[in-house]
Homo-oligomer: A and B are copies of this chain.
Amino acid sequence: SSPRPRRRLSVEQRREQLIAVALDFFAHHAPEEVSIDDIAAAAGASRPLVYHYFPGKQALYEEATRRAGRELAGLFDEPQVGPLSERLHRVMGRYLDFVDAHGPGFAAIMRNGSASSSPGTGAVIDQVRQAALDAVLSHLALPDPSPRVRLAVRSWIGNAEITALAWLQDEKGRFSREELQLALVQEFVAQLLVVLVHEPGLAPAMSGWLAEEQPDGPAGLLLHRLVALLGD
C-alpha cells in the first residue's frame, strides 16, 4: 500500500488531471460518497495540493458537473444529413451511452436529491436543456418554430431525461439500450403528430421530413404500424 509516485505536471495539467479524476469519481458515486481524500489518492496527489487548486469538494463537484454538462450538450451535435428520425436515433444512442457511463453522477444531478445540488449545478442542467432544444430545433429547420413546437421539443427532452433516469434506477434489466433508443425517437415523432393535429400549418414541413424517412427507419416503422392500428 505504498502511495503512487507523484508525477511532475504543469499547473494546467495538474488541474485538468484533478478534474478528470473527480469526473470519474462523481460519475460512479453520489457526491456525498466522494471525499477529497479519495480524489487526492486516485490522482497521486496530497490533500493540500488538491486544496491548492480547489477550495473544496463542492467546487470540484461543480467544475466536474460543468464539464459533464458540456460533454452532454455536445452529444446533440449531429450533421444535418439524412432522415430526421435517424439523426435523432444517433443522438439518443450517444445520450444513453453517456447516461450509462455516468450513471450515479447523472442520477445525482438529475434527481435534485443531492446535498451538492446548488445554483451552479442547476445552471448546468438549464444549459444542457437549452443546448438540446437548440440542436433539435436546428434539425427541424423551421424558419420560425411556433411556441407549440418549441414546447413539444422541450417536453420531449424532459421525457428523455426522466426515461433515462428510470432506466438507470429500476428498468435496466428489462430494457435494452436499443429498445429505449428507438422508443425515445418514436415518442418524438408522436409528439410532433400531436402538434400537427393542432397546427395544420406544420403539414408541409412534416411532409418534407417524412419524405426522407425510410420505411424501416424509426419514424417509418412507427407510422406504418400506426396507420394499420388506427385503420382498424
Contacts and interface: CB of A to CB of B under 8 A. Distances in A.
Contact of A183 (B111, B121, B194): B194
Contacts of A162: 154-155, 157-159, 161
Interface string A160-181: 1111011100010011000100
B183 A148 contact: yes
Shortest Cβ-Cβ A-B pairs, 4 listed? A113-B122, A158-B162, A117-B117, A112-B112
B112 A125 contact: yes
Contact of A121 (B112, B118, B125, B190): B112
A161 B147 CA distance: 17
A72 interface: no
Interface string A211-232: 0000000000111011101110
Copies in the complex: 2
Interface of A: 109-115, 117-119, 121-123, 125-126, 147-148, 150-152, 154-163, 165-167, 171, 174-175, 179, 183, 186-187, 190-191, 193-194, 196-198, 203, 221-223, 225-227, 229-231
Contact of A163 (B109, B154, B160, B196): B154
Contacts of A125: 111-113
A156 B159 contact: yes
Contact of A119 (B115, B118, B147): B115
Nearest to A157: B162
Nearest to A147: B174
Which one of A150, A152, A166, A223 has the greatest number of beta carbons of chain B within 10 Å?
Answer: A166
Given A112-B112, A113-B126, 17 more contacts: A109-B112, A111-B112, A111-B125, A111-B126, A113-B122, A115-B118, A115-B119, A151-B166, A151-B175, A155-B159, A155-B187, A186-B197, A187-B190, A197-B221, A197-B225, A203-B229, A231-B231
A142 to B, nearest CB: 16
Contacts of A119: 113-115
Contacts of A190: 187, 190-191, 193-194
B198 A194 contact: no
A25 to B, nearest CB: 19
Contacts of A194: 183, 186-187, 190, 222
